[in-house]
Amino acid sequence: MQNTPRWVRRLDGTPFITYALLAITIIVFALETLAGGSESVTVLIRFGARYNTAIWMGEWWRFITPIFLHIGLTHILMNGLTLYFLGVLCEQVFGHWRFLTIYLVSGIAGNVASFVFNPDVVSAGASTALFGLMGAFLLLGDTFRHQPQVGAVARQFAVFAAINLIFNLFSSSVDIYGHIGGSIGGFLIAGLLGAPNIGEMPRWRQVISGVFLIGVLGFLLHFGYTQALL
């Protein structure tokens, strides 16, 4: 450890992935605004929003790009603040690259769920990935329930997620399917990757999480693409 350069040790303790995700999100929002406005459907589709017709035509990257797009100032402010507070904590717990993987896989899982269950809507936003971070902490709370601090934080995440999902039920503008899909994706990918900073993940849980993640995503993608043939 003493032979490790000081700047490497300092970087390792900095949530630089969270900062990078925030920076990318803000830059993309600025570009949306300059291109004609973040609330313009035309601009959103051009920048990569989840749009089933385009996905059916082969633009599979639209499962990823919506994570970095936002619709209006309130949307990016809420998600940006949530990303900062949840991201810093999750990056510390899971480590930089596991955190990034959880964030992206959760976002993709949420967009896949939206692709299947909400096909007529153009959608965008980081909330699919943010709900995945909540799902990841629920997994930790269940796996490491013997650790009081982990359990306490997991319960807070569970309450926060439940309140948000309840509000989703009364808001027609919110993609609840994307949020649920993101939560499940975050739960499963966290089970697969583990959290070495807290403890060792049981091997059986990693295997089951990986199998379920691949199986569920595969089934939903197959079902979603077959909709284009109907």
Active-site residue set: 127, 179
Q: Which residues of 138-161 are buried (b: 16+ CB within 10 A; e: fewer)?
A: bbbbebbeeeeebeebbeebeeeb
What SS3 class is residue 49? coil
Partners of residue 123 on adjacent β-strands = 50
How far is 228 from 60, CA to CA, in rounded Å? Answer: 14
Whole-number Å distance between alpha carbons of 154 and 129? 17
3-state SS of 50-91 is ECHHHHHCCCHHHHCHHHHCCCCHHHHHHHHHHHHHHHHHHH
